[in-house]
Amino acid sequence: MLLSDRVSSVELHPVRYQFAAVRGDSYDDNWLVIDGTVTTPEGNWSFADPCLLTDEARQVASWLRAVAAGTVAVTEPDAEGQLSPDTWFIEPLLAFSLADRSEDGAAAIRIHLSLEAAPPWQQGDDGADIYQYVVGMEMDTAALLHAADQWDLALTPFPSR
C-alpha cells in the first residue's frame, strides 16, 4: 500500500508471519512482519518489523475507508502539544490519525512512526516520545480508497491463524 502526496510517501507491505509454524498461541501465530519504506523531505529510510497482528492489520484499511467517508474526527494535539493517534496497535511502531479535512473531501492524514519504524536519526533517542514523529500527507478520497484496496489485497495471503 502506498500512501503519498507531492512531498512524502509511506509504503507498507505485509511480508510474512513472524513465525512460519503455527504454535497454538493467538498472538504469536498472528504477528505480521511489515516492511515499510518512508520518503520525506528530511530523509528516506526503511524498516521491517513484526508490528501488526492480522486483525490489527485489517483495521488499517477500515480506518482509511472511514477517513474517505468522512466519519473519522480530526485529532488535535493536547495542551502540551503531544499527538495521540486515533488508530493505534499493541506494538507502538505504527499508528494513524487525521490532522485535517478540507471542504472538497481531501484529508490530511498522519502516519505516526515510533521505535524501529522511526527515522534512523531518532532511533535510540531516549527523549523521542512514542507517536510524536509523524509523516503528514494530503490525500483525496479516491487515493484513500485505492490505498485501502491495495492493503486488503496485500493481506489476502495472511488470514488469522
Q: Is 70 exceeded by the pLDDT of residue 125?
A: no
Structural domain count, the chain = 1
Instruction: Name 29's Cβ contacts closer than 8 Å, sequence gap at least 6.
Output: 17, 19, 22, 23, 161
> 71: domain CATH number?
3.30.2450
Q: Which domain holds residue 65?
A: 2-155
Query: Tell me, what amino acid is at 143?
Result: A
Burial of 154 (0-12, 13-18, 19+ CB in 10 A): middle
Rounded average pLDDT over 86-108: 94
Q: Is 70 exceeded by the pLDDT of residue 142?
A: yes
**Residue 69 has what DSSP assignment?**
H
For cell 484496496, the residue is 149
Q: Is 70 exceeded by the pLDDT of residue 127?
A: no
Residue 74 belongs to a domain: yes
Q: Closest by alpha carbon to 10, among 129, 77, 93?
A: 93
Residue 161 belongs to a domain: no
